Amino acid sequence: MNFDYTPKVRELQARLNAFMAARVYPNERRYRDEVEGNRAQGNPWIPTRMVEELKVEARSAGLWNLFLPQSSRGAGLTNLEYAPLAEIMGRVTWAPEVFNCSAPDTGNMETIERFGTPEQKRQWLEPLLAGEIRSAFLMTEPAVASSDATNIECSMVRDADQYVVNGRKWWSSGAGDPRCRIYIVMGKTDPGAPKHRQQSMLLVPAGAPGVKVVRPLTVLNADDAPHGHMEIDLADVRVPVTHLLKGEGCGFEIAQARLGPGRIHHCMRLIGLAERALELMCRRLSGRVAFGAEISRQTVWQERIAESRCMIEQARLLVLKAAYMMDTVGNKVAKKEIAMIKVVAPNVTCKVVDWAIQAYGGAGVHDEFLVGAYASARSLRLADGPDEVHRNAIAKMELREIASGAATPGSTGATTPRGS
């Protein structure tokens, strides 16, 4: 594996860093003020004018749709090439939307690109790629342990040339955005089929009769506006059979394909969030004096700084390895590496941000960036599969490899022997 960034990537990094420095970081306060202004007027879900302005600038600068590998509709970047760019965007939680690279839209766009019909792409993918609409992914349900996707109870019953959808979903990120026009919904079309062939996925228009956004959910007591996470009721929602993705019984397969890129995109962005938290920690410790010396001279803080750097570098390398394998051997073969980074990146970021909060003292639990960063990282220990599910999957794969004697050359697709 060669993780040296290509000239194309280095050039994009320079342009992206310049855009962030000139247009994103200076506008963080304006963004917060605009969201709070909308909240004070009774609707925090209104898209901010500032982000809409920056989207126009980013697109003009050629910093648009940088994801979507193996597609002529994207920027022509591999997952490995996209990773360092997503890291830069991740330094500000709302910045990915500026470049049309935010969740859940990126995962949804990849899903429609990979599994959608030409008409589905024309109707939904093209306006998503143009940044004209937003989307949501409806999988998790409040009534069942949705970390096991086979538990999903939302029903999709065929009635002539339509499906009738009934169910309750929650943690539907982005569904509160008034621009959200389409949901990708996972449900059961055949409860009697083999366990992993019972589920299907449908494209459900957000404004379809029977769709009701019940309430916004809070993340550590914050509403996460204007992005937000919604609970949604689907009551006798009728959807044309032409809105089915790939085919009946393919829902679990699509979920696995969608969540792989979605998971690694989250992890790429988290590396940037952890980097910024470490920078803030170091600046704070170097600028404060306690007991007659800068706090940064205390060995306990030097140890935490060093440990943070080690953890971030390890996480970044694992992100790059997972991305490399996705590009070279495919998402299915790279599933262990994707699972590993999905465990590692949120936990590393949580720890680094927690130490940064501690370094700020009382100000740390009040600082909007640090509190938001912690909430984001902590929630990602649950989103797209909790730590426990990924750890179980990793352990089972490890045990199978050891039992079969296939573990000698390292984890699947690796080029370096274990222990070397």
> What is the reported pLDDT for 407?
64
| CATH assignment at residue 63 | 1.10.540.10
- The verdict on residue 409 lying in a domain is no
Q: Which two tokens stand for residue 100?
A: 């049309």
How many whole angstroms from its chain centre is CA 172? 13
Asked which of 77, 106, 129 is the last residue of a domain, the reply is 129
What's the confidence (pLDDT) of residue 259?
80
Band (pLDDT 50/70/90 cuts) for residue 56 is very high
Q: Say yes or no to pLDDT of 389 above 90.
A: yes
Residue 86 domain-assigned (yes or no): yes
Same domain, 257 and 241: no
> How crowded is the C-beta side of 65, counted as CA atoms within 13 Å?
22
Per-residue pLDDT at 258:
85
State the CATH number of the domain containing residue 276. 1.20.140.10
Q: Per the domain annotation, does 400 fall within a domain? A: yes
pLDDT for position 417: 41
Domain-embedded: residue 49: yes
- Residue 183 above 90 pLDDT? yes
Could you tell me if 199 and 189 are in contact, meaning their C-beta atoms sit under 8 angstroms apart?
yes
The count of domains in the chain is 3
Evaluate if residue 419 carries a pLDDT over 70.
no
Q: Residue 403 corresponds to which tokens in the numbers above?
A: 């039992």
In the chain, the percentage of residues whose pLDDT exceeds 70 is 96
**Is residue 60 in a domain?**
yes
Closest C-alpha among 117, 124, 111, 202 to residue 163 = 202
Lowest-pLDDT range of 166-180, 205-219, 393-407: 393-407
- Which amino acid is located at 333 in the chain? V
- Per residue in 240-268, pLDDT (tens digit) is 999 999 999 999 999 888 888 889 999 99
Claim to verify: residue 214 and residue 257 sit in the same structural domain: no
Question: Distance from CA of residue 118 to its chain's centroid?
Answer: 26
Summarised one tens digit per residue, pLDDT across range 266-314 is 999 999 999 999 999 999 999 999 999 999 999 999 999 999 999 999 9
Q: Are residues 234 and 258 in the same domain?
A: no
Cβ partners under 8 Å of residue 319, min gap 6: 83, 264, 267, 268, 271, 341, 345
- Domain annotation covers residue 2: no
Please report whether residue 16 resides in a domain: yes
**36 and 180 together in one domain:** no
Question: Is 184 within a domain?
Answer: yes
Same domain, 167 and 89: no
59/182 same-domain check: no
Examine the fold and report which residue of 247, 276, 299 is the final residue of a domain before the chain moves on. Answer: 247
Report CA 36 to chain centroid distance, whole Å.
24
In terms of residues, how long is the chain?
Answer: 420
Both 119 and 142 in one domain: the answer is no
Confidence at residue 1, expressed as pLDDT on a 0 to 100 scale? 66
Q: What is the pLDDT of residue 97?
A: 97
Residue 399 shares a structural domain with residue 350: yes
Question: What SS3 state is found at 410?
Answer: coil
CA atoms in the 13 A half-sphere facing the CB of 113: 21
What pLDDT, on the 0 to 100 scale, is given for residue 409? 52
Asked if 57 and 117 sit in the same domain, the reply is yes
My answer on whether 117 and 36 are in the same domain is yes
- Mean pLDDT score of the chain: 94
Q: Residues 265, 379: one domain?
A: yes
- Of 215, 247, 279, the position where a domain reaches its end is 247
Mean pLDDT of 17-43: 97
Structural domain range at position 226: 135-247
Q: How high is the pLDDT of residue 70?
A: 79
Task: Report the C-alpha gap between 366 and 279 in whole angstroms.
Answer: 18
Please tell me whether residues 144 and 122 are part of one structural domain: no
Answer yes or no: are the C-beta atoms of 315 and 348 closer than 8 Å: yes
pLDDT digits 0-9 by tens, 95-131: 999 999 999 999 999 999 999 999 999 999 999 999 9
Separation of alpha carbons 98 and 12, rounded Å: 15
Q: Give the tokens for residue 283.
A: 């600046």
Distance, CA of 336 to CA of 398 (rounded, Å)? 9
